[in-house]
Chains A and B, each alone.
Chain A
């Protein structure tokens, strides 16, 4: 309960201040007088880049207790000068939208539904299937007898929205595994 001091009574404040009609300072609530940006609560602010188009606008990401609480344009960026389009401005919702799926789901053959699934188990199953598909569709030579040293059993699509480092690992791993069917939005 807020401590009430007689001097803070609105009528007295109205008389004390020059707010004769009682529409300004005289009527401010305690909460109003303590207004501060909600980002003041942030324990982390990092410089980031917008994940949508390729303009590459700077973002400031505010987080508190390991949760993103706000994202806005980074005025330091010589590209965007602090501005964001509606998509960039919505990117806090990209992080926190209730429509986001943050747990692993698995759909068994012929099943009508998803089931919740353990991530580690899913990774093992994917690795098993990768190795099997790789062997099953392995090609040593093409039809003319030229060495090709590859598998046609596994393919990948995507890369334009992830990081350079991530694309690098995908290309490196797939190439070493002999998988050539790697593609991303740049072809589309």
Chain B
């Protein structure tokens, strides 16, 4: 029943000569320093407006909150105590022993890697840690937003990424509910004004694409020129890596295996499993705890995945309804 959802391989292929290897991000949160350069570089390149309320969000150093129409990269900050670190390490260890496809066993060859000879005794569990992770649109293999878009504004690009064509989008907002990650959002006027009382008129920014759905374009306008997306290019520590999908997934698996070999069993991959509810993502993450901790859904499912089953149910239900209606007439007729 796959035919009801879009097939990225075929969509990409349909680009003909323009078709490229699928491009992806691998965001390695273990080396993220939370500098937020990705957020700024993204906004600058894409001309997205400042949209924070200019008040502390009460979320550690995160004052962006979440991805949205105007923020296409968002860095989460998570402060954890020793107990939570232990739990993360345990849950990660279970994933390893379960052989979860997304996590992958430590590869025997890659484990030693470039840091062969490094002390590999498991580290003592720190008393405290501060996790940082740069979130972005997942560019899902089976993209809910794309599947439900009635206008064809959302489409699969020649790079296998998912993009809104703002000149087609009519702002209906269907895609907003179609995204299992809560990434895509309609840009309207209300959200770009700071809610504080400070006089910000001087800083009012002109914005494009009001009233349409907005999200990360994977810097499509850079990819077509062979350039790296703005966030990945600026990332100081290469926490955000960019490249061909297969290579990104490979690097992610190598890295997680390396961390496991150092005893950091809390490391796990997110989005690298092609069997998951969205068929894997074009933005793969290495996390150091459960996805929920970072504000990511633990088991995202593309809504259209269930369409065939839902149709079946619908047919049954409709038949039942018809029968009931008929019955009611029959019963009513007796009155």
A88: B residues at CB distance < 8 A: 37, 234
A24 lies within 8 A of B44 (CB):
no
A84: B residues at CB distance < 8 A: 37, 41, 234, 236
B225 lies within 8 A of A10 (CB):
no
A178: B residues at CB distance < 8 A: none
Which of B40, B155, B230 is A24 in contact with, Cβ under 8 Å? B155
B224 lies within 8 A of A37 (CB):
yes
Known A35-B224, A98-B202, A99-B203: A83·B165 in contact at CB below 8 Å? no
Is there a chain B Cβ closer than 8 Å to A3's Cβ? no
Write out, one digit per residue, whether chain A residues 7-32 have a CB within 8 A of any chain B CB (1) or not (0): 00010000001111111111111011
Is there a chain A Cβ closer than 8 Å to B168's Cβ? yes
In whole angstroms, what is the CA distance A19 to B222 when docked? 24
A22 lies within 8 A of B224 (CB):
no
Is there a chain B Cβ closer than 8 Å to A77's Cβ? no
Q: Which of B4-12, B86-94, B110-118, B308-316 lies at the interface with chain A? A: B4-12
Known A86-B40, A98-B204: A24·B12 in contact at CB below 8 Å? yes
Write out, one digit per residue, whether chain B residues 35-53 have a CB within 8 A of any chain A CB (1) or not (0): 1110111001100000000
A24 lies within 8 A of B11 (CB):
yes
Interface residues of B in 208-230 (CB under 8 A from A): 220-222, 224-225, 227, 230
B45 lies within 8 A of A19 (CB):
no
A40 lies within 8 A of B225 (CB):
yes
Q: Which of A89-97, A114-122, A129-137, A164-172 lies at the interface with chain B? A: A89-97
A23 lies within 8 A of B37 (CB):
no
Give the shortest distance, in Å, between B233 (CB) and chain A (any CB): 6
B168 lies within 8 A of A18 (CB):
no
Give the shortest distance, in Å, between A137 (CB) and chain B (any CB): 39
A70 lies within 8 A of B44 (CB):
yes
Known A21-B11, A27-B152, A89-B234: A37·B227 in contact at CB below 8 Å? yes
Which of A24, A31, A86, A92 is B14 in contact with, Cβ under 8 Å? A24
Is there a chain A Cβ closer than 8 Å to B123's Cβ? no
A29 lies within 8 A of B168 (CB):
yes
B11 lies within 8 A of A85 (CB):
no
B233 lies within 8 A of A86 (CB):
no
B35 lies within 8 A of A86 (CB):
yes
B11 lies within 8 A of A23 (CB):
yes
A188: B residues at CB distance < 8 A: none
In whole angstroms, what is the CA distance A72 to B36 when docked? 15
In whole angstroms, what is the CA distance A20 to B4 when docked? 10
In whole angstroms, what is the CA distance A97 to B206 when docked? 12
Is there a chain B Cβ closer than 8 Å to A38's Cβ? yes
Is there a chain A Cβ closer than 8 Å to B62's Cβ? no
Known A24-B6, A24-B14, A35-B221: A73·B234 in contact at CB below 8 Å? yes
Is there a chain A Cβ closer than 8 Å to B158's Cβ? yes
A90 lies within 8 A of B221 (CB):
no
Interface residues of B in 1-40 (CB under 8 A from A): 3, 5-7, 10-16, 18, 35-37, 39-40
Is there a chain B Cβ closer than 8 Å to A82's Cβ? yes
In whole angstroms, what is the CA distance A70 to B147 when docked? 34
Q: Contacts A18-B14, A27-B152 given; 12 further ones with Cβ under 8 A? A: A23-B6, A24-B11, A24-B14, A25-B16, A25-B158, A31-B165, A36-B225, A70-B44, A84-B234, A88-B37, A98-B205, A99-B202
A residues adjacent to B (C-beta < 8 A)? 10, 17-29, 31-32, 35-38, 40, 70-73, 82-86, 88-90, 92-93, 97-99
List 18 contacting pairs A-B, 8 Å CB cutoff, sorted by A.
Answer: A21-B11, A22-B152, A23-B11, A23-B154, A24-B15, A25-B14, A25-B16, A27-B153, A29-B167, A32-B155, A32-B165, A35-B221, A35-B224, A70-B44, A83-B37, A84-B37, A86-B36, A99-B203
Q: Rank and list the top 5 A-B pairs by shortest CB-CB distance, nearest first.
A: A24-B11, A27-B152, A19-B14, A23-B6, A89-B41
